[in-house]
Amino acid sequence: MSANGGAPLLRCVELTRLFGQGARAVHAVDDVTLELRRGEIASVVGESGSGKSTLARLVLRLLEPTSGGLYFHGEDVTRLRGFARRKAYWTHVQAVFQDPFGSFNQFFPVRHVLRSALRLEDQHLSPQTREKRMASALESVGLDPGSVLDQLPHELSGGQRQRVMIARAVMVQPELLIADEPTTMIDASSRANILNVLLDLNRDRQLTILFITHDISLATYVSDTLFIMQAGKLVERGNVERVAHDPEHAYTRQLFADTFSLHGEAWRPAGGEGST
């Protein structure tokens, strides 16, 4: 709850993206208006095909919106012409994705991945500064730089790989981190560790995080604010405690009801307790 007042960090205004044309066009993101305040963690939750990843790609400026506007620090970033200007935007907005395998070049060690990310910011850093920045980024995600830097991707566990990707993203000191399903490929027992890394970065660096997930239990664990998305539209939004205790939209209630829980009565579609 570290959000302060003032101007929002990011504002999407009636953001829309169609795929295809004419009457058969798919409204992947449909008239989405939302605000992120500095220092908050907000989650976009929805089922497969709800448009949440398309929204993330629009905010990252990897996709052009069909209509609507995107404002970062109040500045219009909807139409950034040219690679150079988008690159400048990416020093402020970074992302981690679902598949930490796909994000690595398997032939190069971790050092290479991190070094190429630093180049985004400044081509002329001294080797010492570079090493120091890489080491502190790895430490901030709970990895030991001494052992990890020279390892190849396949020598790391899935959780370690995803931590390296988070380190890569925060190394350029962005203000906004977009985390698109960062824990789906990770073992259930180490998911909390990845989420705790995000929570710590938010607390220690005031990093604003937009978390994209289909799992509402993960979203309630990390978020201050929830945005519930269905078929391209935001159907419910609000403070996490309000949405969790008192969901207004039928779809939100459905999401909570369908999630498997360790509490309350068990579902048991195949009958009660087994043979004893």
For 267, the token pair is 């579902």
Q: Dihedral through CA 98, CA 213, CA 234, CA 208, nearest 10?
A: -80
List binders of other proteins among 218-247 (CB under 8 A).
218, 220-224, 240-241, 244-245
Q: Is 164 in the site for other proteins (CB under 8 A)?
A: no
Q: Taking the CA atoms of 240, 246, 251 and 255 in sequence, report the sign of the dihedral they define.
A: positive
Q: Among residues 217, 233, 235, 249, which is the contact residue for other proteins, using CB under 8 A?
A: 217
Q: How far apart are CA 224 and CA 207, in angstroms?
A: 13
Q: Among residues 20, 33, 196, 203, which is the contact residue for other proteins, using CB under 8 A?
A: 196
* Mask for 113-152, x = binds other proteins (CB under 8 A): ----------------------------------------
Nearest approach, Cβ of residue 60 and other proteins (Å): 21
Q: How far apart are CA 107 and CA 72, in angstroms?
A: 36
Nearest approach, Cβ of residue 226 and other proteins (Å): 11
Q: Is 157 in the site for other proteins (CB under 8 A)?
A: yes
Q: Among residues 122, 139, 155, 187, which is the contact residue for other proteins, using CB under 8 A?
A: 187
For 71, the token pair is 């404002």
Give the distance from CA 153 to its chain's centroid: 21
List binders of other proteins among 20-49 (CB under 8 A).
47-49
Q: Is 192 in the site for other proteins (CB under 8 A)?
A: yes
Nearest approach, Cβ of residue 223 and other proteins (Å): 7
Q: Among residues 86, 111, 130, 214, which is the contact residue for other proteins, using CB under 8 A?
A: 214
Q: Is 206 in the site for other proteins (CB under 8 A)?
A: no
For other proteins, the closer CB: 49 or 74: 49
Distances (CA, A) of 43 to 24, 200, 243: 30, 16, 12
Q: Is 194 in the site for other proteins (CB under 8 A)?
A: yes
Q: How far apart are CA 65 and CA 81, in angstroms?
A: 13
For other proteins, the closer CB: 118 or 209: 209
- By CB atoms closer than 10 A (0-12, 13-18, 19+), residue 6 is exposed
Sheet containing strand 10-19, edge to edge, reads 26-36, 10-19, 67-72, 75-76
Q: How far apart are CA 11 and CA 70, in angstroms?
A: 6
Q: Is 274 in the site for other proteins (CB under 8 A)?
A: yes
Footprint on this chain of other proteins (rule: CB under 8 A): 47-49, 157-159, 184, 187-196, 199, 214-218, 220-224, 240-241, 244-245, 254-256, 258-263, 266-271, 273-276
